[in-house]
Structure 1
């Protein structure tokens, strides 16, 4: 096979496989019966962050393993790019963390605030997105 044909075939293979690689961007762990978790995953997909969904039997143990402080926990937990995203974190902030690579475990939106991604509805309440580190320290990363 000549060199040009080889490189063209390689480029085609990469372009065909890239959607498969994108599908591995992140995994969202959730209770199998949660609807807002699915809505959050759709928000992520619409904003260019591919998300696989994984139903979990023991979310509490998973959150503990991933070092999510108990008072920051919400309904679902995502692992993306080596970071943890707890609850209804907006996609733009997920992308910012992935780009900036801060020294944190991840971001959390405690509870399920109305108007956050996946919790859209007739009203919107202000909420904070908190960062947290290995020692459990946290700070306000953004206010929405």
Structure 2
């Protein structure tokens, strides 16, 4: 078998592509989540998003209030963790199907939120799952209903 050596041109092209920050086609969409270092439900949500194909980076922080304020999350919509996805904010236990819809539609909003910690939302397993709302919010903090999620976790 012949010994195949990369050419200088091939190596330089690969280095240029690697340094460009370009993601190969089909690469997972990056998602960065800021959470309390000891929060189990936040880790459960991150796992849900990874299982849906997102490239999740978890960033434990001591002061989530500062992250939420910087992201413009309205107080009434706050939950336990704050994530950033391609210029949007995801607050709390937003299901992957809502994040995927957000990226398909690209509405002129700041982000999505699932206020509180509804049982049955991603990362919040428990008996008697409940239906809950995924709220959109603008940069000015104005909320609106984005979608309803049934108790079985499906859009309703």
State TM-score, norm by structure 2. Answer: 0.79
Q: Give the drift of 1:45.
A: 0.4
- Report the count of equivalent residues: 136
Bigger-Rg structure (1/2): 2
- Counterpart selection for 1:81 from 83, 86, 94: 86
In 2: Cα distance, 1:101 partner to 1:23 partner: 18
- After TM superposition, the runs of 4+ consecutive aligned structure 1 residues lying more than 4 A away are none
In 1: Cα distance, 2:114 partner to 2:60 partner: 20
- Counterpart selection for 1:60 from 60, 65, 70: 65
Alignment gaps of 5+ in structure 1: none
Cα contact 2:29–2:54 (8 A) shared by 1: no
Counting only pairs closer than 5 Å after superposition, residues 1-144 of structure 1 correspond to structure 2 as: 1=7, 6=10, 10=14, 22=27, 25-144=30-149
State TM-score, norm by structure 1. Answer: 0.85
Alignment gaps of 5+ in structure 2: 1-6, 150-156
In 1: Cα distance, 2:103 partner to 2:29 partner: 15
Q: Secondary structure at the match of 2:109?
A: coil
Q: Secondary structure at the match of 1:39?
A: helix
